[in-house]
């Protein structure tokens, strides 16, 4: 199922199952690995892979105080690795148009196969 954010000044976001194997690795640690990731496509941005929380090693991450706001997705909160602040983000209460990303986390860099 694909969810599409309505056009707002030409801005269109889609969220759909990626159908690919996604891994987030830092150093010797596999922080996340999933076959159930969602891919979010947004104009002007690289594809973002949102990994289900159950496939993320939260025991290796620490919640951050950082918060940001996106007018299309909502309020984001962040998680850090010991030496990498704000490495991961999530939308705990995303806008209805992208509700599928709730319960998923996104890393800045992932391996996709």
Greatest extent of the chain over all pairs of C-alpha atoms, in Å:
43
Instruction: Quote the tokens at residue 65.
Output: 């105080």
Global pTM value: 0.89
pLDDT per position as a tens digit, 49-106: 999 999 999 999 999 999 999 999 999 999 999 889 999 999 999 999 999 999 999 9
The secondary element (H helix, E strand) that includes residue 14 is: strand 14-17
3-class SS of residue 43: coil
Sign of the CA dihedral running 21, 62, 58, 30: positive
Contact 6, 14 (CB under 8 A): no
Query: What CATH number did the domain enclosing 56 receive?
Result: 2.170.150.40
Give me the number of domains the chain comprises: 1
pLDDT of residue 4: 45
Give the domain extent around 33: 3-112
Instruction: Quote the tokens at residue 107.
Output: 């890393």
pLDDT per position as a tens digit, 2-54: 444 444 566 789 999 999 999 999 989 999 999 999 999 998 899 999 999 99
């Amino acid at each position: 199922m694909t969810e599409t954010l309505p056009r707002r000044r030409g801005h269109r976001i889609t969220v759909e199952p990626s159908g690919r194997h996604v891994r987030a690795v830092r150093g010797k640690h596999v922080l996340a690995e999933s076959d159930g990731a969602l891919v979010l496509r947004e104009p002007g941005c690289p594809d973002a892979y949102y990994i289900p929380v159950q496939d993320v090693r939260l025991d290796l991450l620490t919640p951050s105080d950082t918060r940001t706001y996106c007018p299309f997705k909502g309020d984001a909160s962040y998680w850090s690795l010991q030496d990498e602040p704000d490495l991961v983000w999530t939308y705990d209460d995303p806008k209805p148009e992208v509700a599928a990303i709730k319960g998923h986390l996104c890393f800045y860099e992932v391996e996709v196969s």
